[in-house]
Structure 1
Amino acid sequence: MVKITLVAGARPNFMKIAPIIHSLQRRSNLGAKLSFRLIHTGQHYDKKMSGDFFEQLNIPEPDTNLAAGGGTQAEQTATIMIAFEKELLANKPDLVIVVGDVTSTLACSITAKKLCIDVAHVEGGIRSGDLSMPEEINRMVTDSISDHFFTTSEIANQNLLKAGVGQERIHFVGNTMIDTLLANRSRFKRPEGEIFEQLEAQRYFVLTMHRPANVDQEGQLKAMIDAIIAGSNDMPIIFPVHPRTAKNLENLGISHKNLFMVDPLGYLEFNYLVENALAVITDSGGITEEASVMNVPCLTLRDNTERAETIQLGTNELVGTDPQHLGPYMEKLMKGDWKTYQGIPLWDGKTAARIVDKILEIYG
């Protein structure tokens, strides 16, 4: 019997882990000798930021919630490690699976390895090269101690090889976030509310911003939003606002007739908006992947990316964090002169099945 502990803690984790859960359940029903426990660290503790995802993506209720809550990154890391250690001592698995690059990924990897438990990192090997990003630290530390790596791209494979990871521990499987996207695409639904009912397909923008470089400096935040509005041709801009960003926007008193700041949306509602938008403007890595596969133009407000394949083969362009650089990209978009999705290898909806096959091969 292969015993697996799955860790989810923040919004992106749920999208990445859902297809792994479904694949484990299918294989178990077919007679594979495996069991799993689902651990929610509680890193995202707001209902809109986590609870809806369990419901919409048909993920079972977690076996336990570590209730890490808020606090600084150090406080959150410590809280997760203390609680996760107790969980592992009470229910020792053969393998801990962590996904992505959030605080929970780092904290649970360290805790497992200190108890001599194998760790597999789903989405291992991606790098932005930007050590000012907390996520980059999380990736580097997690990858330095993981036993197995389930990678999304050949670029990630090369990053791991350069870091000295043996080829036998690198498993190129694809992208579980795209598994979730393709499995649920037919279920996307228009959000409820007058704002959303009035939207016309390809006649509005979706905006997301949460990175400190964009939202924590009031002058930068205002200048970027002004630049987006200036280039929008008066089309509606739908901006689901991260809780931290909402506070900064409130302090600035930002408002405009075609800027609609809304609460965070469920997975099915948000991706409905993305699929039907003229373009997405974002500083999120995961959204660049989803937008590319849905062939929706994507403008990334960052100076670097850990997902270069979305630029090389997808619909993503790296605009940067200087608001003055946005204008030419918006003009290009309005002219209809944007690249189309070329297809990214193994982003085919079958990644989770490949992951489970490999786990059973190694541990079965």
Structure 2
Amino acid sequence: MFTVNTYAATSPTGDLVPTPIQRRDVGPHDVLIEIKYAGICHSDIHTVRGDWGPQSYPLAPGHEIAGIVTKVGSAVTTHTVGDRVGVGCMVNSCGQCTNCQAGEEQYCLAGNTGTYGAVDRDGTITQGGYSTHIVVTEDFVVRIPDALDLDVAAPLLCAGITTYSPLHHWGAGPGKKVAIVGLGGLGHMAVKIAHAMGAEVTVLSQSLKKMEDGLNLGADHYFATNNPATFEHLAGSFDLIINTVSAAIDINAYLQLLTLDGALVNVGAPAEPLPVQVFSLIMGRRSFAGSMIGGIRETQEMLDFCAEHGIGSEIEVIPASKINDAYERVLASDVRYRFVIDTATL
């Protein structure tokens, strides 16, 4: 075991503070990563504040990790010292179930091991990327292409794959009309990726205040959902809607915007239930679905796709001392569009 510096929550209500933690020694199949940048995801806030269930403290969040390999275990074959790498929302899975064997480790039937706040293989609680270093088994470390700077690549490990996976799975591409609900950390990546896939992209946001941004990011159209006329005008328009917001919305109203056989896919995770009227589904053979990140293979595919198309996250780099301020700004929707921690400031 060795000690590293982190910023961690010590309770669900207090600030994150400098906190030393223990990392396990590098085993035969492990990779030691010097973290350079770590993105701040809304789910970090939900988790440390106990919105999704009680947590063990201290807890260092962070699952958008970009850094450099500084040591590898004796049996590691996929990474070498000096590699530019990333770690996303999970750091292990059973590896044996049907889903893991299919490369869908995020849906491991035994439950994947989250990058923070989960029980690790040695029985300790995992600690995330608001840290100087992390030790991860090689199978859950991905390569960051040289064409991507590490700071803009970090949020791709959650925001990028969370939106790429459903867009890919539901066939976003030429001839498809795709709507993105919300233009935040997830939404802005969904716009960029859907545009690069060749889809016709519409942003559905509460107001028009980010309209210029949305169009510059690749949206073809932009509508305000606080205007009831939007729902009348766009009824039956979209093959696919990706809902990126983590707050309750009127799902039935959005389902009416789908074409025959259209799908509304939730990637935002509000704490409240989202009631659905069955007739909103059966009258158009519509689907209401969910999607959670992607497997390791698909995450690498996403990174390569983003490198090929010059896609990175729109970021504001902050020192660790500004993490608590950043949390308040995320909750106030005052970020365009992802905070990234410079971990050298730890």
Q: When the two structures are superposed, what TM-score results if normalisation uses the length of structure 2?
A: 0.34
Which structure has greater helix proportion? 1
Task: Compute the TM-score of the two structures, normalised by the length of structure 1.
Answer: 0.32
